[in-house]
Amino acid sequence: MQVYFLGTGTSQGIPVIGSHHSVCQSNDPKDKRLRVSVWITWDDYSVVVDCGPDFRQQMLTSGCSHLDAILFTHEHADHTAGLDDIRPFFFKQGKDIPIYGHQRVLNNLKKRFDYIFETENRYPGAPGVQTFEVINNQNFQMGSTDIIPINVHHGNLQVFGYRIKDFVYLTDVKSVDETEIQKMKGVKVLVVNALREEPHHSHFSLQEALDFIHLIQPEKAYLTHISHLMGFHEEVQQRLPHNVFLAYDNLKITL
């Protein structure tokens, strides 16, 4: 399995438009972060988690040329606003692109991208999707592989993370119930959000993410959904435990 970090930034991306913050003005490519997403490939499958406003650029940079599915974590714009840009995959592959998400998220997409879901008088240039509802405690399959939804909380909002084999991807998490911790046991690679050092009402701070990693005990953990307020990549990385890494855009890992 290969995991490609398409974007590792928080909702505004880094640099933030108009910002004079030193991290936003850094020349280190690792300090430039698009909106958060990963591209996961295994066997013949090619899947992205979320589809934010940088999706087009991310597909071009990563060289992704085939898309079997999008797994959505939740409906916030930094995770969904790029949905129209699946058009090239739809045209090339000649069939609806499967999208997976909580029913609330699918309903939200239907409202915001009504033309994509239109069944009558469809505009010929619109992309097509096939929706699959993700239900808590119900695994689903891609080929022979189980996809395990992990139900977590982003402040008051429900969010799904996903476990695929020994890989767990969790973003926009502030709290996790004990039942969900069990679903992550034995995982080799954990990706989890860490916004900044200061606490935030709906995201793990750096310390909260480190405490969570200590609880799950993966072999390696990667931090994502990072704000410019976290600091410079190189400086923050030096302070992390030996098996914890700040993810950065275009980082590829193999499991």
Q: Which stretch binds Zn ion (CB under 5 A): 12-20, 78-86, 91-99, 238-246?
A: 78-86
Task: Give the whole-angstrom CA distance, residue 226 versus residue 56.
Answer: 20
Nearer to Zn ion, 1 or 16 (CB): 16
- In three-state form (DSSP H/G/I as H, E/B as E, the rest C), the secondary structure along 159-195 is EEEEEECCEEEECCCCEECHHHHHCCCCCCEEEEECC
Is residue 216 within 8 Å of residue 184, measured between CB atoms?
yes
**CB contact set of 21 (below 8 Å; sequence gap of 6+):** 15, 228, 229
Among 163, 141, 140, smallest CA distance to 150 is for: 163
Q: From 58-66, 89-97, 119-127, 166-174, give the range in contact with Zn ion by CB under 5 A.
A: 166-174
Interface residue with Zn ion among 31, 50, 54, 172 (CB under 5 A) is 172
CB of 12 vs Zn ion, minimal distance in Å = 10
Per the CB < 8 A criterion, the answer to whether 106 and 99 are in contact is: yes
Among 54, 78, 180, 249, contact with Zn ion (rule: CB under 5 A): 78
Stretch that binds Zn ion, among 63-71, 93-101, 172-180, 211-219 (CB under 5 A): 172-180
- CB of 78 or CB of 85, closer to Zn ion: 78
Closest CB to Zn ion among residues 31, 78:
78
20-28, 74-82, 113-121, 180-188 -> range binding Zn ion (CB under 5 A)? 74-82
Q: Tokens 């640099």, residue?
A: 15
Helix, strand, coil shares of the chain, percent, nearest 5, are 25, 30, 45
| Cβ within 8 Å of residue 119, ≥6 positions away | none
Is 163 or 225 the residue whose CB approaches Zn ion more closely? 225
Could you tell me the smallest distance in angstroms from the CB atom of residue 129 to Zn ion? 21
If binding means CB under 5 A, how many residues of this protein chain bind Zn ion?
A: 2
Find how far residue 112's CA is from the centre of its chain.
Answer: 20
Residue 54 interacting with Zn ion (CB under 5 A): no
* Nearest distance from C-beta of residue 65 to Zn ion, angstroms: 26
For Zn ion, the closer CB: 54 or 172: 172
Residues that bind Zn ion (CB under 5 A): 78, 172
